[in-house]
Chains A and B, each alone.
Chain A
Amino acid sequence: MFRYLLRRLLGAFFVVVGITTFSFFMIRIAPGGPFDSEKMPPPEIMRNLEKKYHLDEPLMLQYARYAKDVLVHFDFGPSFRYPERSVNEFIDLGFPVTLRLAIYSMIIAVLIGISSGLIAALYQNSRWDYSAMAFAMLGVSIPDFVLGPLFQLIFGLKLHWLPIAGWDGANFYVLPSLTLGSMYAASIARLTRGGMLEITRQDFIRTARAKGLSERVVILRHMLKGGLLPVVTYLGPAAAFMMGGSMVVEKIFDVPGLGRHFVNSALNRDYTMTLGLTIFFSAIIVLFNLIVDIAYTFLDPRVKYE
C-alpha cells in the first residue's frame, strides 16, 4: 500500500510536469501578449517590461526558469496584469472561497443526488422513479448559466428571499451552491439509481433475501456499499471539476473565487496567472483521483494495491 502510494505520487508529479510543459508552450502559441492593448505602449517601455519579466530571453530558457520556480519553489511568479501581486497571492485569497463554494455544492449534490437516486431505484418504474429521473434529466440538461440567472430571478428579485450576488455570509452562499450543486446532483442521482439497480440483480441479494433478512438490512447492509461505488468513482473528478469549473457560477453570482481570475487571465494573456491556475487545478484533479482510488480499497475489499 505504501509503495503503491509512493508510485502514484511520483506518477502524479510527472503528470503535473507534463501539464506545466504543455500549457507553457500552448499559451505562448496563442496570438497576442500580456501587454498588448488598443494603444500600444512605446517600444522602449515594451522592451523594459519584456526585460523585467525575462520575455526577451529564448523560450527554452524562460521555460527552464519557470519550471524550476514552479516545481521546486512552488512559486508561480508575479501576475503580468497586476504587477504588484503574485499568482500565489491570488490563489491564497481566491482558493478558500472557491473551496467553500465547492464544499457546499458537493454537500447539496450528494444529499439530493443520493437520496433521489435511492428512491428512484427502490421504487423502480413508480411515479417517484419517473419524477426523480425527470428532475435529473432537467438538472443535467439545463446549463448553469441558465439555472443561475433563473434562481436570481425567482429567489432574489421576485421572492426577495436571498441576495442575488456577493459573498458576505451564509445566505449569500445558498444560490451559487445550489446552482453549482444541482448539475452534479443530477448526475449523482442517475449513477446511484443505476448502481443500486445493478446490485439488486446480483445473486448475493437473492441470497440475503433467502436468509430471511429484513428489507432494511438487505438495502442498508447488502446493497448500499456496492451500489454507491459508481458514485464514489464519479465524486473524485466531480469535486475537482467543481473547484476548477466554477468560473461561470462565480461570474454570475460575483463570487470572489479563483474561477473568474482564470477566465480573465486567459483573455488578458496574463501568462503566469493562466499557467499557475492551470497547474494548480490540474494538481487538484490528479490528487482527487488518487484519493478516490485509495477510498476504493476501503469500499471494495476485492481491490488491493501492491
Chain B
Amino acid sequence: MMALLTVNNLCTTFSTPEGVVRAVDGVSFSLERGEALGVVGESGSGKSVTVMSLMRLIATPPGRIESGEAIFEGRDLLKLPEANLRSIRGDEIAMIFQDPLTSLNPFLTVKRQLTEVLETHRRMSPKKALTESIHMLELVGIPSPAKRINDYPHEFSGGMRQRVMIAMALLCRPKLLIADEPTTALDVTIQAQILELIADLRHEFGTTVILITHNLGIVAEVCDHVAVMYAGKIAEYGKMGEIFVRPRHPYTQGLLRSLPRLDEKRAARLESIVGQPPDLTLLPTGCAFHPRCEVKSEHCLREFPSAVRFGDHHYAHCWHAEDRS
C-alpha cells in the first residue's frame, strides 16, 4: 500500500543573529494510512519545526525550507503552489496546537472560527456549516453545543478550549491530523481526557495522526510508531513496542530511564540525562549527542552515524547501537 505521507531529507534553517541554525537537518520518515506516529524530543530538537515545514507554516524569513520533499498522496507539499496547498490545509491535513488559549482567535466567536472552515473547504451555506459545527462540538464532548458555539474562546475552560480546537481540526474529516503538543498546556487529568478523545476519534474516523510531544507516556497511550528526535535529526525510529522494550540509541535509553516507574521502590532517585540540550548554533561535531553520551567513542566525534537497522521498521543512528540492547 502506498504511504499517506513520505518525507525525504527535510532541512529547515533559521537565520539568527548568531548565524544560520539548522533546526531540521535531514529528517526522513514515512507514514502509513491509519498510523499514529509519535515524535518525541527535548525543546529545540526540531519536532515542531518538522511539522510546521510540512504545512509550510514557517515564518519566512527568518525560516527557510532548504531542501527535501514531502509527498502527500502523490503531491509534494513543499513544492505545491500556495493556492493548492491552502486547499489541503485544514481540509486534508489539519493541525491542533499546544496552547488553545492563544491558538484560538480571541476576537471571534467559536461559531465564526468553526463555520469558516466548512465554508472555505466545503462551500457550505452558513446554516449548514453551523449545524455541522454544532454536531462536531457535540462529538468532542462539549455540553450544550448549540448554546456554547456563540461564546468566545475565553469563556471556555482550558480543556474545553482544546476540545474546540480538536473539533475545528476534524470538521473536514482530515486524512492527516497533526497534533503539536496538544496537552502540554493542560493539567494532568484534562490531559488524559484529551488524549483519550484523540485516540477515540482517530479510530472512529480512521485518521492518520502525527503527535508531537516531549512526554513518552503520552506516546505510549496514543501512538504505534515513535520517532525520537535530537538536534534536528531523527535519532531512533521504530514501532512503539520495540522502542519501549529494546531502545537502541543511548538517548532513547536515557529518556526511558528518566520516566518515573510505578513498579520501583519509592525511594529510587529519578534518573536524568546528564548535560543540556545542545545549542543549535554551536553543534558538536559528528553525533550531536556525544557530549552527553555514556558509550561514545572517538568515531562519534568525527562522523554522524549512519542508520543501523533492526528489522523492517526499527533503526537508530548510533555507532554503538548494535553493542547495546
Chain A positions within 8 Å of B, measured between CB atoms, are 202-204, 206-214, 217, 221-222, 225-226, 299-302
Contacts and interface: CB of A to CB of B under 8 A. Distances in A.
A210 B95 contact: yes
Contact of A217 (B55, B95, B120): B120
Contacts of B55: 210
A217 B113 CA distance: 11
B90 A222 contact: no
A203 B107 contact: no
Contacts of B109: 301
Contacts of A211: 89-90, 94, 116-117, 120, 168
Contacts of A299: 107
B106 A300 contact: yes
Interface string B120-143: 110000000000000000000000
A121 to B, nearest CB: 14
A36 B90 CA distance: 78
Contact of B57 (A204, A206, A217, A226): A206
8 contacts: A204-B103, A204-B106, A210-B89, A211-B90, A211-B168, A212-B90, A225-B108, A299-B107
Given A204-B104, A207-B104, A212-B120, 9 more contacts: A203-B99, A209-B57, A211-B89, A211-B120, A212-B89, A212-B121, A213-B120, A222-B105, A301-B152
A221 B154 contact: no
A277 to B, nearest CB: 39
Interface residues of B, number: 28
A112 B55 CA distance: 36
Interface in B74-125: 86-91, 94-95, 97, 99, 102-109, 112, 116-117, 120-121
Nearest to A214: B86
Nearest to B99: A203
- Label chain A's interface by main secondary structure: helix
Contacts of A217: 116, 120
A225 B116 CA distance: 17
Contacts of A208: 105
Given A204-B102, A214-B120, A302-B106, A209 B89 contact: yes
A301 B89 contact: no
Given A204-B105, A222-B108, A301-B154, A212 B91 contact: yes
A301 B117 contact: no
A302 B57 contact: no
B301 to A, nearest CB: 39
B172 to A, nearest CB: 9
Contacts of B91: 212
Nearest to B117: A211
B86 to A, nearest CB: 5
A203 B103 contact: yes
Contacts of B88: 212
A226 B152 CA distance: 14
B121 to A, nearest CB: 6
A212 B102 contact: no
A79 to B, nearest CB: 49
Interface string B197-221: 0000000000000000000000000
Nearest to B61: A125
Nearest to A210: B95
A301 B106 contact: yes
- Output the residue of A204, A222, A226 with the most chain B CB within 10 A: A204
A206 B57 CA distance: 7
Contacts of B117: 211-212
A224 to B, nearest CB: 9
B195 to A, nearest CB: 21
B103 A225 contact: no
B24 to A, nearest CB: 17
A212 B86 contact: yes
Q: Which of A210, A213, A301 has the most CB of B within 10 A?
A: A210
Contacts of B57: 206, 209-210
A226 B107 contact: yes
A12 B88 CA distance: 54
Interface centre among B89, B102, B105, B106 (most CB of A within 10 A): B105
B14 to A, nearest CB: 15
A209 B86 CA distance: 8
A212 B152 CA distance: 21
- Which of A202, A208, A212, A302 has most B Cβ within 10 Å? A212
A157 B239 CA distance: 83
A205 to B, nearest CB: 8
B103 A206 contact: yes
Nearest to A207: B103
Contacts of A226: 105-107
